[in-house]
Chain A
Amino acid sequence: MNLDFTEEQKMLRTMARDFLSTECPKSLVRQLEESDLGYSPEIWKKMAGLGWQGIMLPEDYGGTGMTFFDLVLVIEEMGHNILPGPFFSTVICAATILEAGTEEQKREFLPKVSAGEMILTLALTEPSASWQPQHISVRAAASGENYVINGTKLFVPDAHVANYLLVVTRTKKSAKPEEGITIFLVDAGSPGIQCEPQLTMGLDNKSEVVFENVAVPRKNILGKLNQGWTIVQSTLMKAAAAKVAEMSGGCQASLEMTADYVKEREAYGHPIGGFQAIQHYLADMWGYTDRTKSIAWEVNWKVSAGMATALDVAIAKAWANEAYKWVTERAVQCHGAIGTTRDHDIGLYYRRAKVAELDYGDTDYQKEIVAGELGF
């Protein structure tokens, strides 16, 4: 066991923090939240220059050849600083293609991802608002050399700027819901796709995507026909674990910002950080944040090493869901009225904490997994 970061990892973390705080100040975060594009193509290009989109992709595919854990360290810093945009969606989908794609698919997609020339996203959830296979109802039917997709996906992150969508479809009715599911790599510009933004609390660019007779070549099946669910599960585990790291970074930033504020803000002739009630809030926030960091690093190390179980990920995500919400809620309270405004940074974290809980499974969903895995 060695719980220290390597020198390389320390450098990566420092570089990521410096880069993000310089390139993406909170004024830009707010501006991007209000923009139609929702991300900065300039920052996107610069990140590609640093090798971030391809950080865990092999050098053969234009990547940097580092690990999933290294990627997650960058994502943690993105949670700390806040970086609006399709980075998370793209790298998780790239990891899925790396894991399940054919050699031809990897050669087609991954070098473009590494170069910052391709944005990817996972189109999974539907009006049923579920992460479970029995609620996948978007259909794909064989038609000559193509499959034809019909149906509606909801809450699809970054679909409005994605070049390709990883669309989870039902290709066969089966007694077991996880059988008969197939993932397609779908060109977002295909005729029959309509994408309509769904304005969210996180202002994080989710969309409703409607497929109407969208033809996709058979060669764009990712993985095996009718056996896509195991790939979805693996993707969800990676995404949930990486999201925990992003949330951990957000907890840390909220704690730091609040500790700074209560040392400066005065009431009744004292800094409010001198009042015991406030000190106890901060002490609890420190504890929640510290446990979130620990569990984030551990679960992502396990994912990276191929050792994570569904239980590991569900426990980590359930923990981080509640911790991040609680830390940011107390952070706003410590800031008082200024914390409830659009102009103050802490609200950016409070809103994201809620949306991050929902992404890749809220606490109710994770607890069901925990209960199931524990044999209840």
Chain B
Amino acid sequence: MDFEPIPGLAEARKKYDDFFREEMKKAPPGWEGGPEDLATHEGHAFQRYVARELGKRGWVCLAWPKKYGGLEKSHFEQLAFNEARAYWKAPGVDQFGAGMIGPTLLAVGSEEQKERFLPPIARGEIWWAQLWSEPNAGSDLAAAQTFAQREGDDYIVNGQKCWTSGAHHADWGFAVVRTSREQTRSRALSYLLIDLRSQGITINPLATMSSHRTQEAYFNEIFLDNVRVPVVNRVGEENDGWRMIRATMNFERSGLSAYGAMRRELLELIEFCRETKWQGEPLLNKPLVRDRLAQLAIDIEAGMASARHVLWGQYKLFLGEESPRDQATRSSSLKYYRSELSQRFAYTGCQIFGLYSQLKRESRWAPLYGKFEKEYQSCLGNNIASGTTEIQKNIIAWEGLGLPRI
């Protein structure tokens, strides 16, 4: 084993840090880079601006082939970029486009689809939404009911999708739909790319717990009423969508740079505690506060160490040297470790802030722009989105450890 950083990576990281340091000076006040920041009109405009700047440099999809708009950089340089972007809480890379549908198309899309959709993603020009969950199909995605009826060269799609992050700003969606009445569950699913400006699409906001009055929602529900989608927009074969879904899920579960972001947030919290006196002495002098901050530091580093192994495993998987099963187990374990850690982080921040922790960012007394007031509520979604913690544990028990299913 060798934990030395790869030569040349530090220089690359510095280049990305320098870029984001400058660009993030233009961020709206109180920017945290979370979905609620991205949901607002102002936040999305900033997101599009940064995306165009990244696109000009070919940085949105560094590791992609040049013919699709990438620079064919290594996985490790991609990670250095991801870490820098996470550290600076920078927007500009569409997690659904560059992060999910792009890699899926690279792996299983037709050549025509790759040529049509990948370059605008790499240029940071079009934005995607994930049309998977439905009111009665969340973790149990195979229960999806939205139906696509074949009619000549088109599908006619009817149904309802929900929990669609950012759909109100997105241009396109990648959807899980049912295409057979004979087959059941996952055997009847197909994967469609849908233009969200199509006739018959209605997008309504779904307000989250922390929202109030006129705040913009980042979740949406989408109604599809006789929406016409060309058959050429299907990814993979009809009724073979489950295989594509599994491919996308593997891209969704990596999320490695989150720990770098947490490190930065911890440093900010420590700095705040060093500077703030509420009862005569700096918060950082209190043994309880020191204990809690130290515990967060420990938990973040443990997660980061494990995340490096996930990255390495993905790299080996890419080379065909590690089994997808082992990789899935570690990804599942780290997925809920990370969501629970972000929850502990929010709870710890609130505990340290005491009475102040309840203040929303609109209050002039709110510490750190009400960051923890918001995160105390938004953190709950992380334990549910992209496969609940309970599902991840089942995967580990069943697939990783081979325990019996009763």
Please state if B355 and A129 are interface contacts (CB–CB under 8 Å). Answer: yes
CA of A95 to CA of B359, assembled, Å: 29
Please state if B355 and A358 are interface contacts (CB–CB under 8 Å). Answer: yes
The listed residue (B133, B210, B351) touching A337 by CB distance below 8 A is B133
CA of A214 to CA of B154, assembled, Å: 75
Q: Which residues 217-254 of B sit at the A interface, judged by CB distance below 8 A?
A: 219
Please state if A277 and B393 are interface contacts (CB–CB under 8 Å). Answer: yes
A233 within 8 A of B: no
- Report A204-247 CB contacts with B as 1/0, cut-off 8 Å: 00101000000000000000000000000000000000000000
- Report B333-364 CB contacts with A as 1/0, cut-off 8 Å: 00000000000000000110011111110110
CA of A54 to CA of B46, assembled, Å: 55
CA of A275 to CA of B397, assembled, Å: 15
CA of A347 to CA of B258, assembled, Å: 26
Note all chain A residues with C-beta closer than 8 A to B285: none
Q: Which residues 177-223 of B sit at the A interface, judged by CB distance below 8 A?
A: 206-213, 219
Known contacts A199-B363, A351-B209; is A333 also within 8 Å of B279 by CB?
no
Note all chain A residues with C-beta closer than 8 A to B363: 198-200
- Report A311-326 CB contacts with B as 1/0, cut-off 8 Å: 0000000000000000
Please state if A201 and B133 are interface contacts (CB–CB under 8 Å). Answer: no
How many whole Å from B393's CB to the nearest CB in chain A?
A: 7
Known contacts A155-B355, A342-B208, A362-B351; is A266 also within 8 Å of B136 by CB?
yes
How many whole Å from B388's CB to the nearest CB in chain A?
A: 7
Known contacts A129-B278, A336-B138, A337-B381; is A343 also within 8 Å of B358 by CB?
no
Please state if B288 and A354 are interface contacts (CB–CB under 8 Å). Answer: no
CA of A345 to CA of B362, assembled, Å: 24
CA of A129 to CA of B373, assembled, Å: 16
Please state if A267 and B138 are interface contacts (CB–CB under 8 Å). Answer: yes
Please state if A201 and B279 are interface contacts (CB–CB under 8 Å). Answer: no
The listed residue (A34, A125, A155, A341) touching B213 by CB distance below 8 A is A34
How many whole Å from B252's CB to the nearest CB in chain A?
A: 16
Chain A minimum-CB-distance residue to B355: A129
Note all chain A residues with C-beta closer than 8 A to B357: 201, 354, 358
A355 within 8 A of B: yes
Chain A minimum-CB-distance residue to B217: A342
Please state if A201 and B376 are interface contacts (CB–CB under 8 Å). Answer: yes
Chain B minimum-CB-distance residue to A348: B209
B149 within 8 A of A: no
CA of A202 to CA of B393, assembled, Å: 33
A33 within 8 A of B: yes
The listed residue (A128, A154, A200, A340) touching B209 by CB distance below 8 A is A340
Note all chain B residues with C-beta closer than 8 A to A355: 358
Please tell me the number of chain B residues within 8 Å of chain A, measured between CB atoms: 46
Please state if A201 and B377 are interface contacts (CB–CB under 8 Å). Answer: yes
- Report A97-108 CB contacts with B as 1/0, cut-off 8 Å: 000000000000
A25 within 8 A of B: no
Please state if A198 and B389 are interface contacts (CB–CB under 8 Å). Answer: no
Count A/B pairs, Cβ under 8 Å.
121
B158 within 8 A of A: no
Note all chain B residues with C-beta closer than 8 A to A7: none
Known contacts A34-B212, A154-B355, A340-B209; is A128 also within 8 Å of B278 by CB?
yes
Known contacts A125-B355, A267-B143, A362-B354; is A340 also within 8 Å of B213 by CB?
no
**Chain A interface size, under 10 / 10 to 19 / 20 to 34 / 35 or more:** 35 or more
Please state if B359 and A200 are interface contacts (CB–CB under 8 Å). Answer: yes
How many whole Å from A131's CB to the nearest CB in chain B?
A: 9
Chain A minimum-CB-distance residue to B388: A336
Please state if A33 and B136 are interface contacts (CB–CB under 8 Å). Answer: no
CA of A355 to CA of B354, assembled, Å: 10
A364 within 8 A of B: yes
B163 within 8 A of A: yes
Note all chain A residues with C-beta closer than 8 A to B378: 340
CA of A310 to CA of B359, assembled, Å: 28
B383 within 8 A of A: yes
Please state if A350 and B380 are interface contacts (CB–CB under 8 Å). Answer: yes
B318 within 8 A of A: no
Please state if A340 and B355 are interface contacts (CB–CB under 8 Å). Answer: no
CA of A130 to CA of B378, assembled, Å: 27
B390 within 8 A of A: yes
Note all chain B residues with C-beta closer than 8 A to A201: 210, 357-360, 373, 376-377
Please state if A198 and B380 are interface contacts (CB–CB under 8 Å). Answer: no
6 contacts between A and B (CB under 8 A): A33-B212, A198-B363, A200-B363, A208-B365, A340-B378, A342-B212
A interface residues (Cβ-Cβ under 8 A, vs B): 33-34, 125, 127-130, 132, 135, 154-155, 198-203, 206, 208, 266-268, 275, 277-278, 329, 332-333, 336-337, 339-343, 347, 350-351, 354-355, 358, 362-364
Other A-B contacts than A155-B355, A329-B380, 14 sampled, CB-CB below 8 A, are A125-B355, A127-B278, A199-B360, A200-B359, A200-B363, A267-B143, A275-B390, A277-B393, A278-B390, A333-B388, A336-B139, A337-B384, A339-B380, A339-B384
Q: Which 8 A-B pairs have the closest CB atoms?
A: A347-B209, A342-B207, A267-B140, A129-B355, A199-B360, A200-B358, A201-B358, A198-B363
